[in-house]
Structure 1
Amino acid sequence: MVEVNEKLKMDDPSAGEIEELVVKLAKKGVPPSKIGIILRDKHAVPSVRQATGKKMIEILESNEVGSEIPEDLMRLIEKAVNLYDHLDSNPNDIRSQRSLDQLESRIHKLTKYYKREGRLPPDWRYSRDRAALLVRG
């Protein structure tokens, strides 16, 4: 886990200082959800959007720090890979197979949404082999 001890210089941070801190934390490898928590808890910034007028993802993309795959989709893919590993050693676990089927359905739905919104390339496809490479690579 990345240790973060960044402090803003002023009691009431400006939009520029908040954007700078968001970019600095992202470069250290902190995911956007954790950045929001850090800003809320340590710097008294309840909403990046209200403070800067931009969404956190917009800030990250404008500074070319954002990830290729959205964070929530990546977490679902990681869960699916863990279930693949479990099913390799426990092939008769029918409940886990059903959970994997449901999880893959959610991944496909979320993928369609992100393609429609432009956050994923139109030719991006989910596959089990590629998922394992994404998570482990």
Structure 2
Amino acid sequence: MARMHTRRRGSSGSDKPTADDPPEWSDVDADAIEERVVELAEQGHDPSQIGMKLRDEGVQGTPVPDVKAATDKKVGEILDEHDAAPEVPEDLRNLMARAVRLRDHMSENGTDYQNKRALQNTESKIRRLVSYYRGDELDTDFTYSYDVAVELLE
């Protein structure tokens, strides 16, 4: 599939293993995994960071290679059940953080036209994602602006 704002094609990524069952060496209880997920979310970690921490550190010393295989729920579903989900989806939050950094850079370096274009492309992606999430994850009257992004990221 082609990239959104360039003429290049995207590089393919790795595929997840096809196994549906958790490995035998990772016999952590599903309730313990859910508790750890909520604990990491309360510490301020994003869902992708939670998955990496569970993969690397694990629960009670035992790594968890795949949360969905071990609990039959995704990290986002677990967070929704325990009312610990972030108010803004992670991909939108990351794009807003990038746009704020680019806007701050542009205020200091007004003739940096390459980053000016990058800011335009990033804000275009943000508006696209906002229209996708509007109504479900975001309010129906939510609109993106630099000031709104700064408020949400604080």
TM-score (norm 1): 0.84
Match in the other structure for 2:117: 98
> Where does 1:33-112 land on structure 2 (aligned, <5 Å)?
33-43=48-58, 44-112=63-131
Match in the other structure for 2:20: none
Residue identity in the other structure for 1:54:
K
Identity of aligned residues (%): 44
Match in the other structure for 1:131: 149
Instruction: Give the Å deviation of 1:108.
Output: 1.2
Give, in whole Å, the separation in 2 of the partners of 1:56 and 1:108: 26
Residue identity in the other structure for 2:84:
V
Query: SS of the residue aligned with 1:95?
Result: helix
Show structure 1 runs of 5+ residues with no match.
1-10
Residue identity in the other structure for 1:103:
T
Which of 102, 105, 119 is matched with 2:137 structurally? 119
Greater shift, 40-49 or 82-91, is seen at 40-49
Greater shift, 120-129 or 13-22, is seen at 120-129
Give, in whole Å, the separation in 2 of the partners of 1:67 and 1:111: 15
Residue identity in the other structure for 1:65:
A
Show structure 2 runs of 5+ residues with no match.
1-25
TM-score (norm 2): 0.75
Which of 22, 25, 31 is matched with 1:16 structurally? 31
